Chain A
């Protein structure tokens, strides 16, 4: 499924850097999601946006700051991350009120 794109695909950053992950969906959906997948752990939901409004924050530390300017775009702003934040970050989208989510390829983040 190439309807959800993510950039960059790989990112290496220091703990004092500020960077942003970008997600774009071309499926006409109105809900977007950020997930984190750490090694040997299930995918963990981080944030949910429905019609540009944040409806779920799964106790995510404030060093992760999401932004959803419209239903097609979703950002994850990163600052002062820790090495344990190194993971695969996945974006997904769906129609609101329908459970099937479609995922992007992910950004592999390494924090040094």
Chain B
């Protein structure tokens, strides 16, 4: 049973346009969400995160939106660049007993983003 789902295996976008990557989750205990980017033959690189107390977090060209009622988050990349072409993973972490979020990340399957020049 996959608790974190990325239903689009791939996405193709023109350079300069917006890329929107989506992620859905089922576990209501998740309260910290992250996006990672992965190039072939490299480990995942952390991009941006969001805590459940927020609905938006922005860092340069990257913005993550969280809709808790829908259990949905999305990553917006504006403007998209060819160097953004990679696999993007969303991940979620539950609160621990102490009320903080750590440790047990659950990942989605990933979405392959291709940005065409």
> Residues on A close to B: CB < 8 A?
1, 4, 6, 31, 33, 40-43, 45, 48, 50, 55-56, 90, 92, 94-106, 108
Tell me which residues across on chain A come within 8 A of B32, comparing CB atoms: 99
CB contact under 8 A between A97 and B105, given known A1-B46, A42-B110, A90-B43? no
A106: chain B residues at CB < 8 Å are 42-43
Interface range, B side:
20 to 34
Subset of 25 A-B contacts with CB under 8 Å: A1-B45, A1-B46, A6-B43, A42-B4, A42-B89, A43-B89, A43-B91, A43-B105, A43-B107, A90-B44, A95-B102, A96-B103, A97-B96, A98-B101, A98-B102, A99-B34, A99-B49, A99-B105, A100-B49, A101-B46, A103-B36, A103-B44, A103-B45, A103-B46, A106-B42
A55 touches which of B34, B103, B109 (Cβ 8 Å): B103
Do B45 and A42 touch across chains, with their CB atoms under 8 A apart? Answer: no
- Contacting residue for B43 out of A45, A48, A98, A105, CB 8 A: A105
Judged by a CB distance under 8 angstroms, whether B41 is at the interface is yes
Min CB distance A59 to B, Å, is 13
The answer to whether A31 touches B110 (Cβ under 8 A) is: no
Residue in B closest to A108 when the chains form the complex, CB atoms:
B41
**Bound: A62/B108 CA distance, A:** 26
Partner among B44, B46, B98, B100 whose Cβ is within 8 Å of the Cβ of A43: B44
Residues of B within 8 A of A100 (CB): 34, 46, 49
Per the bound structure, the CA–CA distance linking A33 and B93 in Å amounts to 14
Contacts of A103 in B (CB 8 A): 36, 43-46
| B17, CB-defined interface residue at 8 Å | no
- In the complex, the chain A residue whose C-beta lies closest to that of B33 is A99
Is the CB–CB distance between A102 and B4 below 8 Å? no
CB neighbours (8 Å) of A105 from chain B are 41-43
Q: Is there contact, CB below 8 Å, between B104 and A45?
A: yes
